Copies of this chain bind each other. A is one copy, B any other.
Amino acid sequence: MSSSGVSFLFDLDGTLVDSVYQHVLAWQEALQSAGIELSVWRIHRKIGMSGGLFTEMLLREISMEITPALLDTLQRQHAEAYARLVRWVRPLPGAKALLRYLTNAGIPWTIATSARMGSAQYNLDILEVDRARVPVVTRDDVRHAKPDPDLFVAAASRLGVDVQSAVIVGDSIWDMLAARRARGLGVGLLSGGYGQDELERSGAIRVYEDPADLLRHIDEVGGRT
């Protein structure tokens, strides 16, 4: 462990991988296929929560009854639509360099995502994350996903670090809320398409553009070597 005792817990979609807009349009396609019309910006604003909570909130917004069969259909159709768009998904600028920097500096880090391992695997592959060495935590591993704190608490526990000294990096207000509920230090990135103000109001102590910008300012959040 580094001398400063700091560690980094990362969200995945929109934080390390440029996939938020593809997820947004895949959800719109799934909803429209089920006859549900919902504005795209409202879908964007709810992305990053657990899939179940996400669809429940969307359906509540249009006062539609939520049945397990409907949720199943939506999640399957989203996965199909996303699979068609995933060829355009890339690592965000600086993502691989940032993870390499932390590894070389001996600073513990891992990834905690509201996605299930099935859909997270592609992202981990393009980031070249070695799951044998990085204890990635997914939706499959916890009872409640973001904005509940469970994912980040589990991630800190797998690293053997104190979540209260962890820097929790995410692109959505759900990451920042989960970070506060976990008593960690939320750091926001604009790369998921949310505004700086939204991230600060939900508890980010600092906001950077993307992983490359965070790496340039890593000393500000305790990532010194």
Binding site for B on A (CB under 8 A): 18, 20-22, 24-25, 28-29, 32, 37, 39-41, 44, 85, 88, 90, 92-93, 190-198, 210
Contacts and interface: CB of A to CB of B under 8 A. Distances in A.
26 contacts: A18-B39, A18-B41, A20-B41, A21-B21, A21-B25, A21-B28, A21-B40, A21-B44, A22-B25, A25-B85, A25-B88, A28-B88, A29-B88, A32-B88, A39-B92, A39-B93, A39-B210, A41-B190, A41-B191, A44-B193, A193-B193, A195-B195, A195-B196, A195-B197, A196-B197, A197-B198
Given A21-B24, A24-B21, A25-B25, A193 B88 contact: no
A20 B40 contact: yes
Contacts of A190: 41
A195 B192 contact: no
Nearest to A29: B88
A197 B22 CA distance: 25
Contacts of A192: 41
A39 B21 CA distance: 10
Nearest to A192: B41
A28 B86 CA distance: 13
